[in-house]
Structure 1
Amino acid sequence: MLCQFTVKNYKSIRDEITFDMQAAAISEHEDEIIKDIDGELFLPVSAIYGPNGGGKSNVLEALHTLNSKVLRPLCAT
């Protein structure tokens, strides 16, 4: 499970940004939060939003690039 993704210097993303799936300590919707065996809390859903040309698609492309780099050795065997 991917809990946190950080990227910088990728296409239009110059500064470091982090896409974090960890839940904040908020009691609202507590029954929807995922709890792992170590007791860490994670969100079941997250969103990327921002203005047009803000780099949202490039964050997704960076995730796709990571995915292809990680899975390529598995697919090649």
Structure 2
Amino acid sequence: MAVDALDPGPDGTYPYFPRDAKGRPVWSDSPTGLPLVNGGAPMPRGVQPMRDPMNSGRLLAVDVTPRHRNGEPINPPVIPPAPE
């Protein structure tokens, strides 16, 4: 079953969002989302340069930060790892 990193889940914790070993959300300021963290790609954010899809060759600035419907950035909470 496919899961969506931007699905807030029933409790609003974004359970499928990429996180580090301490449960902190992992972001990338690179459009590639690399390097991998815990085997997964960090979530890209910020303004990224991209080529015009109409092949004009112009560079465009595109904000790829995940946002709520009201325009505010999504900030998943830290989910502490389960005690061992």
The bucket for the TM-score relative to the shorter chain is under 0.3
TM-score by length of 1: 0.23
Structure that is richer in helix per residue = 1
TM-score by length of 2: 0.23
